[in-house]
Amino acid sequence: MTLLFCSSSDNADVWRAEITKHLPDLEMRVWPDIGDVADIDMALVWKPPAGLLASLPNLRLIVSLGAGVEPLLEDPTLPEVPLVRMVSEGLTVDMAGYVALQVLRWHRLVDEYGALQAASRWQPLDHRPASDVTVGVLGLGELGAASARTLRTMDYRLLGWSRSPKSVEGVESFSGADGLAAMLPRCDLLVCLLPLTAETRGILNAELFAALPAGAVVVNAARGGHLVEADLLAALDRGHLRGASLDVFGTEPLPADHPFWRHPKIRITPHVAAITHPSRSAVQVADAITAFRSGRPLANLVDRRRGY
């Protein structure tokens, strides 16, 4: 049994060292030095070249280094073998931290105090108690639910939207189009943690922004494809939205001449909200391989029909 590793943004040696702590006998090949393709029956990948996985005749398992799998599903040649996505405590804790950071940034006037410090001004500003601030989370899955729970510990009011109703303590659950319409007008901040699918592409658009209260803030930590960029700029520029924190973009890296870079109401991070750290996530990969080898049911399988 041989694992193919393919990612241009992850360190293969570090991953090998971490996975072999759990599976010392594992043979791992690193793309493009893959040797005899017939040996390979498992692949651990992030954005592999289209067609690569289809060229492996004995492939039986694909494990995604990312939680979001739309880059894989977009490859029409993707083999019909089980696809396991990344769900790990490290990734989840990272995302909850990013979301908390962005909510606090806007609620606790971090940028305003930065400007005051730059002017050497001691000027207390008013902020509402967290218990008066409502945060809506689009997507109450692994990352959305964990982010909502973290914000609850800080006393924020939490609303969450998912395909099916959810029971997350302290989070009011909404689902379906009617649920979204009911939730949006109540959100002081809206956090997107949806998977990118045919149904969710472009969901952060002019209609959604108009349904948010004036002065709302949008945080997108999911995928750039969720956001209609021109609609965000229009909603910010006419003053309806107060600001946006964006971690993900339609084109990554974000081109140097993109208007988001210099927009005074946009805060940018370069797709780092949640990282699949090998030291925290190799055990998930090892578990998937072990289950696969022993014929046990696989956790975190992607439902290709749903797209996530």
Query: Catalytic residue numbers?
Result: 223, 271
Q: Does 228 bind ligand GLV (CB under 6 A)?
A: no
| Closer residue to ligand NAP, CB minimum distance, 62 or 193 | 193
Among 65, 148, 158, 196, binds ligand NAP (CB under 6 A): 196
172 binds ligand NAP (CB under 6 A): no
Nearer to ligand GLV, 66 or 136 (CB): 66
Which of ligand NAP, ligand GLV, none has residue 224 at its interface (CB below 5 to 8 Å by kind)?
A: none
Residue 106: name its binding partner from ligand NAP, ligand GLV, none (Cβ under 5 to 8 Å by kind): none
Which of 6, 40, 52, 67 is close enough to bind ligand GLV by CB under 6 A? 67
Specify whether the CB–CB gap between 297 and 11 falls below 8 A: no
The reply on whether position 73 binds ligand GLV by CB under 6 A is: no
The answer to whether residues 188 and 133 touch, using CB atoms and an 8 Å cutoff, is: yes
Stretch in the footprint of ligand GLV (CB under 6 A) among 66-74, 148-156, 169-177, 249-257: 66-74
167 is a contact residue toward ligand NAP (CB under 6 A): no
> Which of helix, strand or coil describes residue 118?
helix
Q: Does 68 bind ligand GLV (CB under 6 A)?
A: yes
Length reported for the chain: 308
Interatomic CA distance for residues 283 and 281, integer angstroms: 5
CA-CA distance, 25 to 120, in Å (whole number)? 60
Coil/strand/helix, residue 133: coil
Contact status: 158 vs ligand NAP (CB under 6 A): no
Give min distance, CB of 261 to ligand GLV, in A. Answer: 20
CA-nearest of 70, 107, 65 to 285 is 65
Look-up: residue for tokens 């996985």?
Answer: 53
Neighbours of 255 (CB within 10 A): 10
Cα angle 18, 273, 289; round to 5 = 30
Site for ligand NAP contains 144 (CB under 6 A): yes
Q: Which of 8, 164, 251, 294 binds ligand NAP (CB under 6 A)?
A: 164
Residue 196 contacts ligand GLV per CB under 6 A: no
CB of 35 to ligand NAP, least distance (A): 31
- Token pair, residue 197, equals 């699918």
Q: Residue 183 and residue 185: Cα distance in Å, rounded? A: 6
Q: Which of ligand GLV, ligand NAP, none lies near 172, with the C-beta cut-off 5 to 8 A by kind?
A: none
Q: What residues make contact with ligand GLV under the rule CB under 6 A?
A: 66-68, 86, 276
Q: What residues make contact with ligand NAP under the rule CB under 6 A?
A: 67-68, 91, 95, 139-144, 161-164, 193-197, 199-200, 221-223, 247-248, 271, 273-274, 308
